[in-house]
A and B are shown apart, each in its own frame.
Chain A
């Protein structure tokens, strides 16, 4: 994404707010046409780009903006550059984060052919909120991501009063403490949306599980976890919807998987948008991965993510991936 000053036409790729010369608010430059104007094929592996060879395209849009793009696909100069969108509901969209989460959300929505949000929608957002920790530890969905997600939903015409941010504690730590320290509560308050303590509302039956009554009432659930290396947080975060006692009965991985399967097959109003811009690696140290993933099948997102970080190479090979290809994004975090 490029941003320009409406007065002097200076342009940025960094999402700064104002022009330092004119002090005008910068405008996003949404392009429609992109051409390939240069190509180099890289043959040497590096730690962050182990799969060689790969191509780097030099792209240019109708405004004359130029940027680079990594791909395994072959292009010729002057080719039009067009991104294919998802053909199946099980597809996973992967897109790079370049400091602008809203731009990434726009691209993920395009790749999945729309999230079907309109002014009549009621939306339940499920951040990952499992510990009373500061945002820099990357335990919980970041306040920046939640903030952008809420603004993204509001931009579709949804009344803030029809947006809920739901969470509950499955431990002895009160959810209020988690919400406060993670800064997610503050984000809800700033955007005028309702924080929902799932455990304090009612529950419905879903197969033999007790699940938040709001899961069936809302038109869309946005499962919005932050991912971690070596863990399945895209799908596990869906368990937030369960009644606490039911959750505590899920004592092993198989039982959790079974419950996740039931939630995915029983609720067809869930889209997962998972944050993997800056995450915890296997040693709980922050690592920049610089991607977001989205899809209607959270388990597929976990598979694609573990394939990208080479925790389970090949795990995503049978999954339709749109946007950035697994091979292009793959690298092993420094543990």
Chain B
């Protein structure tokens, strides 16, 4: 399949309903694709924010039909933080449809942070893990501690990744931290959330939407690899607890389909719900040997001017993480980069291959996609 058009809203705290974010992003994608709603043959939607705002809309497919005035198949594929990636994977595996609009949107931040956390925690295991206080930062802190202990890693590398992503976001008009500089010192001095993870090591819960139109008709961007894998919701029931094996599996599938290796990738958007996750995901994706990613980060390998620029959008950390929109916002960014349309944040050089990596929960569902500039 080929990418015809991409769109996304600015990620912010505006209080539009979830469908307004979806609509705004989709309109941009339609215009980008030079298409209209009646050209669509199917829509795949993902979102988890129906509890927010008291709306409780669970028949989103019908509401979307009303928005676009279409009567085509509309499929909903919720997979929390990986919703965007999984929706995109689903669209790529649907057969018999020429033009498919993929939408992700969420408005989860509509109340006190404790309430938002409760919404997000619906993506985790309620009785066995959450009763034990395992909010996502704690879950990821324990996974990071296992990783850091296994490879003897200093926690300071977490701040370096956050700093890199904040630097990138400053150049992205759709990122929350656009033109809002954050220093390494600020990151280091931010309060502990779940030791050793600090507030600035955690992504930014925010509202927003993103949309992508794929087509059987050739365009300038081809989807050449599409991998998806799942893993147990009980993080510590897995054999290995110092990384997310589902990333490895999804990446292996995507690279095998694409017929290329991690060394061929020119730009990547890697899921950094927590900066710890970005670090060990470099290894799970094949960009670094086990335990070696921190050293490469320190050397600037993943910086904007590095060998493999990663999260030029600012990532979930500094662009923001509107849960289900995130995976499609990654596709948006890589498409813009491969097309050479990323303006101030455009990565220099001849970009041919880009990768997106989108995780749901603490490694419970992972989608990896590889895009090629045709």
The interface of chain A, by Cβ under 8 A from chain B, is 11-14, 38-49, 54, 56, 58, 66-70, 96-99, 288, 290, 328
Contact = CB atoms under 8 A, between A and B. Distances in A.
Contacts of A96: 131-132
27 contacts: A13-B128, A13-B234, A13-B237, A38-B142, A39-B145, A40-B145, A40-B194, A42-B138, A43-B194, A47-B115, A47-B118, A49-B135, A56-B133, A56-B134, A56-B138, A56-B142, A56-B194, A58-B241, A67-B132, A68-B129, A68-B132, A68-B133, A68-B139, A68-B142, A68-B236, A69-B132, A96-B132
The 6 closest A-B pairs by CB, nearest first: A66-B236, A70-B133, A40-B141, A70-B132, A68-B132, A41-B195
B66 to A, nearest CB: 31
Given A42-B133, A49-B133, A99 B142 contact: no
Interface string B25-50: 00000000000000000000000000
Nearest to A328: B133
A290 B193 contact: no
Contacts of B127: 97-99, 288, 290
B238 to A, nearest CB: 9
Most buried by B among A11, A58, A99: A58
Contacts of B135: 42, 44, 46, 49
Interface string B121-147: 100001111111111011101100110
Contacts of A290: 127, 131
Nearest to A12: B237
A333 to B, nearest CB: 12
A44 B132 contact: no
A36 to B, nearest CB: 12
Contacts of B126: 288
Contacts of A58: 142, 145-146, 236, 241
B138 A45 contact: no
A48 B137 CA distance: 15
A40 B237 contact: no
A48 B119 CA distance: 12
Contacts of A12: 237
Interface string B175-196: 0000000000000000111111
B128 A40 contact: no
A66 B237 contact: yes
B237 A56 contact: no
A41 B192 contact: yes
Nearest to B146: A38
A169 B128 CA distance: 37
B363 to A, nearest CB: 15
B55 interface: no
A11 B191 CA distance: 38
A67 B236 contact: yes
A188 B240 CA distance: 45
Contacts of B129: 68
A192 B215 CA distance: 65
B277 to A, nearest CB: 15
Contacts of B133: 42, 49, 54, 56, 68, 70, 328
Contacts of B236: 58, 66-68
A42 B193 contact: yes
Given A13-B237, A43-B191, A49-B133, A38 B145 contact: yes
Contact of B128 (A41, A49, A98): A98
Contacts of B146: 38, 58
A226 B139 CA distance: 32
Contacts of B137: 42, 44
Given A40-B145, A56-B133, A66-B236, A47 B114 contact: yes
Interface in B125-171: 126-135, 137-139, 141-142, 145-146
B288 interface: no
Contacts of A13: 128, 234, 237
B129 to A, nearest CB: 6
A42 B132 CA distance: 11
A286 B145 CA distance: 37
Interface in B81-131: 114-115, 117-118, 121, 126-131
Contact of B132 (A38, A39, A46, A56): A56
Contacts of B192: 41, 43
Contact of B194 (A11, A42, A98): A42
Most buried by B among A40, A288, A290: A40
